[in-house]
């Protein structure tokens, strides 16, 4: 019998924080300048700390061999999502297209995924989820960042991307994981403490943006189309690919469920930071998260 309590608790927590952000915005406690500060705090501080934290996993030869398949599958999923992001959104206004492209390669597998993987698949599922998220973190802060970052030429663009705090965190995280560099206790504790604030601040910000959205407008054609791609099409393609590649059933299950996570809350944060239609981005985050309360359990039951 599969236990979905972890899934519903995590989704309930996300919506609870989001409603708090909505209340703070509408009550006037969180003003416009406060939203700008929150945005910079998430992008420049808590997200880099969260990235560093995600790379702090044991990485010896035995674990490398057991997780190699998961890593390869995750890389292929990211490449596939990147290709889909380039072909699935023709004739869509540029600001919205950038949001859709970013949200296609970047799901909420980092926040929701670990808890869901552990709750449904156990300790081994949590380990696989930790490995699975590494390629996504790398894509979302390399390819994904180029969707929002503008520059007069490619050289300037590359410089802006490579000096971004999140990219620097990915590079530092890789080195720490690869060489198993021990961090001083107070440094590791500081990183974990700051990283633990990321979900709260990001969803609080999404809630504040939601205050500007009429709830009846959430299920518009573009947000519904995106939700179908994120929650149904991508996991279906992953399932098909894993079956054709004769991937282990357990690895297949974890990969399919994690690939079917909703849009990451950071999508709305990035759209707000770089002025790419944050209202539409928030609709995609909220609607896909709502619908995932139905689709994720259905995928788990199907894979059982």
pLDDT band for 270, please (50, 70, 90 cuts). confident
d(CA 288, CA 261): 8
pLDDT tens digits, one per residue of 25-54: 888 887 767 777 887 888 788 878 877 887
More confident residue, 125 or 282: 282
State the pLDDT at residue 20. 92
Is the pLDDT at 23 greater than 80? The verdict is yes
- What average pLDDT does the chain have? 82
pLDDT tens digits, one per residue of 74-84: 999 999 999 99
**Cross-strand pairs, 107:** 263
Chain centre to alpha carbon of residue 10: 14
- CA atoms 287, 110, 123, 62: torsion sign: positive
pLDDT tens digits, one per residue of 90-116: 988 888 999 999 999 988 876 666 667
Mark out the alpha helices in the chain (DSSP H runs). Answer: 5-26, 32-41, 47-54, 61-87, 94-105, 114-121, 123-140, 143-148, 154-162, 165-178, 185-196, 198-210, 221-228, 234-244, 249-259, 266-273, 278-303
Task: Single out the residue of 105, 165, 113 nearest to residue 135, CA to CA.
Answer: 105
Mapping DSSP to helix (H, G, I), strand (E, B) and coil, where does residue 208 land?
Answer: helix
Estimate the crossing angle of helix 198-210 against helix 5-26, to 10 degrees.
Answer: 60
Task: Single out the residue of 228, 238, 237, 225 nearest to residue 295, CA to CA.
Answer: 228
Is the pLDDT at 72 greater than 80? The verdict is yes
Average pLDDT over residues 243-254: 88
Is the pLDDT at 222 greater than 80? The verdict is yes
pLDDT band for 301, please (50, 70, 90 cuts). confident
State the pLDDT at residue 135. 84
Give residue 31's region: left, alpha or beta (phi > 0; psi -120 to 50): beta
pLDDT tens digits, one per residue of 162-207: 777 777 887 888 788 778 888 898 999 999 899 888 878 878 887 8
More confident residue, 167 or 262: 262
d(CA 183, CA 177): 11
More confident residue, 42 or 222: 222
pLDDT tens digits, one per residue of 118-154: 667 766 676 677 778 888 878 887 788 788 876 555 6
State the pLDDT at residue 26. 85
pLDDT band for 276, please (50, 70, 90 cuts). confident
Average pLDDT over residues 281-290: 88
Q: Please state, as a whole number, how many other Cβ atoms lie within 10 Å of the Cβ of residue 166.
A: 21
Is the pLDDT at 240 greater than 90? The verdict is yes
State the pLDDT at residue 227. 94
Output DSSP code: residue 263.
Answer: B
State the pLDDT at residue 256. 92
Q: What are phi and psi of 197, to 5 degrees?
A: -85, -10
Q: What is the pTM of this model?
A: 0.76
Q: If you classify domain 5-303 with CATH, what class do you get? A: mainly alpha
């Amino acid at each position: 019998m599969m236990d979905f309590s972890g899934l519903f608790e995590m989704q309930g927590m996300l919506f609870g924080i989001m409603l708090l952000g909505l209340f703070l915005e509408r009550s006037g406690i969180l003003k416009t300048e406060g939203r700008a500060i929150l945005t910079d705090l998430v992008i420049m501080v808590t997200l880099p700390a969260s990235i560093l934290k995600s790379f702090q996993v044991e990485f010896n030869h035995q674990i490398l061999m057991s997780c190699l398949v998961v890593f390869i599958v995750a890389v292929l999923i990211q490449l596939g999502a990147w290709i889909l992001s380039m072909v699935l959104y023709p004739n869509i206004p540029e600001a919205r297209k950038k949001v859709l492209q970013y949200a296609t390669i970047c799901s909420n597998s980092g926040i929701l995924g670990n808890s869901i993987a552990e709750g449904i698949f156990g300790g081994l599922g949590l380990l696989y989820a930790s490995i699975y998220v590494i390629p996504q973190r790398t894509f979302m802060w390399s390819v994904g960042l180029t969707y929002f970052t503008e520059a007069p030429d490619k050289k300037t663009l590359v410089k802006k991307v490579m000096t971004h705090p999140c990219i620097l965190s990915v590079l530092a995280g890789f080195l720490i994981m690869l060489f198993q560099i021990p961090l001083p206790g107070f440094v590791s504790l500081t990183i974990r403490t700051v990283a633990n604030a990321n979900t709260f601040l990001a969803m609080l910000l999404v809630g504040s943006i939601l205050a500007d959205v009429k709830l009846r407008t959430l299920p518009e054609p573009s947000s519904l189309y995106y939700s179908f791609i994120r929650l149904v099409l991508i996991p279906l393609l992953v399932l098909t690919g894993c079956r054709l590649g004769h991937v282990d059933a357990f690895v297949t299950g974890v990969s399919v469920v994690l690939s079917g996570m909703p849009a990451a809350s950071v999508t709305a944060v990035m759209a707000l930071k770089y002025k790419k239609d944050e209202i539409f981005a928030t609709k995609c985050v909220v609607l896909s998260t709502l619908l995932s309360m139905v689709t994720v359990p259905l995928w788990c039951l199907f894979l059982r």
